[in-house]
Structure 1
Amino acid sequence: MALSKPLAIRQLIILLAIIILLIITAVVVFFNPRIMGFNTNQWLATKGHVSAQCSLGEMYEDGKGVRQDYSKALEWYEKAAEQGDINSQYNIGRMYYLGRGVPQDPYVALRWFYEAAERGHISAQYNAANINYRDLIIPDYSEAFQWYKKAAEQGDINSQYMVGGMYYFGKGVRQDYSKALEWYKKSAEQGDVHGQYMVAVIYEDGKGTPKNTTTAKEWFFKAAEQGDDDFKEKLDGIYFFGEEDEIGPAQVKLGYLYEGGYGVPQNYSKAFELYQNLAKQGNASAQYSLGEMYEEGKGVPQDYSKALEWYEKAAEQGDIYAQHRLARMYKDSEGVPQNYSKALEWYEKAAEQGNASSQFVLGHLYEDGEGVPQNYSKALEYYEKSAEQGDATPQKYLAEIYEEGKMVPQDYSKAFMWYEKAAEQGDVYAQHIVAKMYEEGKGVPQDYSKALEWFGKVCDSGRQEGCDDYRILNQPQFGISA
């Protein structure tokens, strides 16, 4: 049966459309080096097709469709680069940077990265910045900052993080916490775990923005929620800046929040889990916190032997808090036989790093001759080191030593100086002594007005004796008024 004329025309049109589509597809495949095979790429490359030359270089470099051959990859990249292909310029730079088929040379790599970077190639800009930041004999932070910023402005997440870091630490640019937050946020909003963590740190510390622990907590959670297998490695230190001791990993921070119930319901089990995950990866802060939970029985049965085990791991990495706790366990025989030798060893390690508590304990050990030969000179040395760090307890104790003439000649002037330091930190006992010394002119010129001021501070702290002394000194015969 013959087809009607309109139907035959429609079928002919459909057939022609299919043929045209097949022809277009064939042309696209043939002339698109990204999807065609090695032979076609090679044929087009020999004819001077720049994209094919670049693609052929990539095929040789990656061993796709042909045996891997870095020399031939470089040869084809160079041919395309000579025609101005920025991807090939970048690829040549990358090969020199990584030492693929050529001697590793950051200076040659930088020259090629600049070729592509100046024409807006984001990865070239980022890598040019990296070389200036960390690979030159004399780093050029200013130059690095300029290239990171160019890539960051194009949305590169790693560059945004780096710009934030350079503003935060003042490398290559004036320190500016507000701008640091701006750029960290850009990377954080794209899901960068480092950026998320640093945004949290800035809000927690109130640098360049009002302190906001709620917002800090939210960003800590965002960072810590990326708890995949390589998360701990990613956050083990904030890369490039070398400030890992200052800012630490986010999961430890999150553990602190759960342990203390800061902005979240207190959850020892969750804190323990977070600490344990990082502690097993060798993080000293987490190891210390895990030891503390075992020692105090938080979320787990109290276990001094496990506490000792984790404190030792952290202490051996230089964690001063673990060193102090470990020393105390050996001194007080907590879960371990008393061992003054080991206690002294760990107290001294922590004290050398500036731990005020360890310095204060060492002062007592030498004063009392406990586990060491009695040595007043060393005792006084450690008390002063501890007091100079601003801890009110050793300041008061040192003041008492000078006031009573223990181990040293009696010196009311020095006693007053240390009492005043403790008083200025809000220590009520020291405030009362300072008031009395002003009232009596002991170690300081008599001054009823200042005595009244300090008695008032003691009274305001809820101590009735301060109120009584204030009332007595406020009488007309003393010639002062509130």
Structure 2
Amino acid sequence: MTSSLSWRLAFCFTLWLSQPLSLQAQETLADWRDVPVAQLEQGAQNGVADAQYALGLRLEKGRGLLQNFALAATWFTRAADQGHAAAQHRLGQYYFDGIGVETNAQAALNWLRKAAQAGDATYLYDLARVLETQPEGKPLAADLYQQAADLGHQEAAVSLAVLYQNGTGVAQDFARALQLYEGPAAAGQARAQNNLGLLYVRGNGVQQDYVRAAALFQAAADQGLALAMGNLATMYENGFGVPLDEALAVELHQLAARKNSAKTGNLHPGWVFDTRLAPPDSSAEALERLRQGVTRGDPLAGFLLGWHHLQKTETSQEEFRQAARLLRSSAEAGYPPAMANLGLMYFEGRALPQDYVLGYMWLVLAASAGQPEAPELAVVLSARMTQSQLVEAQELAVIKGGDQLANR
């Protein structure tokens, strides 16, 4: 049993690329969201800022085009230079994290400040997040968080509460932090629930109440917040506000560790199947027909036989090698599920030398070819990669994609 509580706050930036677009950005896309690529490119070339921004997003997501962060940044810049607030916002994010451009904090702040002048709560919030990382920037961040919170931005209210809780950039004020947390927590915001629970555990600004704290940690943990799972585990291993249950505490700690591992792309996400197909028959006769199809050069037969090897309860190294050969042949022929699985094998180093660049290249190609799982897999697994590796993978995807088109 733990003899004392060890609590800590962990507040980190989410990936820019996984964030939903602001309402202003969504309105900007209204006329260009679903137009054909050729029409969108023509509008962008003609200098239409909304089209330039929309084209940048398609290049970023790999929707109908090969994913290319550097080219996306180029189109965001063209739109931003025309005063397009959503493009300025995205370009600021790119410069801050070095996505498609060299990391440049001052350029990031410049573009984020310009975007924030539009008054959108999300733009104010993201500018505050960057300022919070800069020397002497926390008082300005607090002011911007307040502006965004006044516009109803719950994440901004929570971030402002954290500053008051820690006395960072503002005078420490637990009562003010409590007030800011309560609204978002009642609305189901997991980070607010967890942090409010910490105030109740410590008795900061409120009477100490372990039962209330445990309930808040449970609510946040139910939403998948790893930090709350860890805090709830500490409650169970000490019997604070809940019955003493060391076995459940261990289970919660393990679940929190798995959640944290998944955030950094360290868990295998599972192999990708073509949902239009029935799972392959594993009878000897059916497998022989697939082998004959492979001999004829049928990419679908190659994929199904490779899938058969991957899905075995115990797959030998030789079967992994066979799967890699079959999936590579199918992927080279342009079959999207085979591309995605070959990419995963490179990431995992299964029967292939571990190579994040080649793995990401195949996921980019799979996404461009319409494989629905590929974009999300790319986002998750990109956490393992450097920005230079991402750029290299995208450049290779352009070359490989051109080669595949030429060979068809």
When normalised by structure 2's length, the TM-score is 0.51
Verify the 8 A CA contact 1:161 1:194 in the aligned structure 2: no
Verify the 8 A CA contact 2:212 2:241 in the aligned structure 1: no
Task: For 1:139 and 1:322, locate their aligned partners in 2 and report how far apart those are by CA, in whole Å.
Answer: 35
2:102 match: 174
Verify the 8 A CA contact 2:236 2:246 in the aligned structure 1: yes
Verify the 8 A CA contact 1:295 1:307 in the aligned structure 2: yes
2:76 match: 148
Task: For 2:75 and 2:97, locate their aligned partners in 1 and report how far apart those are by CA, in whole Å.
Answer: 17
Report Cα offsets for 1:275-326 as digits up to 9, x if no partner.
2222234332211111112223333333322211111122233433322221
1:293 equivalent to 2:199? Answer yes
Task: For 2:187 and 2:229, locate their aligned partners in 1 and report how far apart those are by CA, in whole Å.
Answer: 19
Judged with a 3 Å threshold, the aligned counterparts in structure 2 of structure 1 residues 320 and 116 are, in CA distance, closer, same or farther, namely closer
Report Cα offsets for 1:126-164 as digits up to 9, x if no partner.
222222222235312222212211111111110100111
Verify the 8 A CA contact 1:221 1:254 in the aligned structure 2: yes
Amino acid at match of 2:116: A
Verify the 8 A CA contact 2:211 2:240 in the aligned structure 1: no
1:4-403 equivalences under 5 Å are 97-98=33-34, 108=36, 110-134=37-61, 135-136=63-64, 138-206=66-134, 210-227=135-152, 231-232=153-154, 249-352=155-258
Judged with a 3 Å threshold, the aligned counterparts in structure 2 of structure 1 residues 94 and 181 are, in CA distance, closer, same or farther, namely closer
Report Cα offsets for 1:165-195 as digits up to 9, x if no partner.
1112222222222211111111112223333
Task: For 2:198 and 2:139, locate their aligned partners in 1 and report how far apart those are by CA, in whole Å.
Answer: 26
Judged with a 3 Å threshold, the aligned counterparts in structure 2 of structure 1 residues 260 and 170 are, in CA distance, closer, same or farther, namely closer
Give the C-alpha shift of residue 271 in structure 1: 1.6
| Structure 1 runs not aligned, ≥5 long | 1-92, 99-105, 233-248, 356-482
Task: For 1:130 and 1:353, locate their aligned partners in 2 and report how far apart those are by CA, in whole Å.
Answer: 28
Verify the 8 A CA contact 2:164 2:172 in the aligned structure 1: yes
- SS of residue in 1 equivalent to 2:132: helix
CA RMSD of aligned residues (A): 2.6
Amino acid at match of 1:132: L
Identity %: 32
Amino acid at match of 2:164: Y
Amino acid at match of 2:179: E
The runs of at least 4 consecutive aligned structure 1 residues that moved more than 6 Å come to 93-96
1:406 match: none
| Structure 2 runs not aligned, ≥5 long | 1-28, 262-408
Verify the 8 A CA contact 2:59 2:65 in the aligned structure 1: no
Judged with a 3 Å threshold, the aligned counterparts in structure 2 of structure 1 residues 259 and 153 are, in CA distance, closer, same or farther, namely same
Verify the 8 A CA contact 2:58 2:65 in the aligned structure 1: no
Task: For 1:272 and 1:200, locate their aligned partners in 2 and report how far apart those are by CA, in whole Å.
Answer: 20
Report the number of matched residues.
232
Structure number with the bigger relative contact order (C-alpha 8 A, sep ≥ 6) is 2
Task: For 2:33 and 2:255, locate their aligned partners in 1 and report how far apart those are by CA, in whole Å.
Answer: 42
Task: For 1:158 and 1:349, locate their aligned partners in 2 and report how far apart those are by CA, in whole Å.
Answer: 37
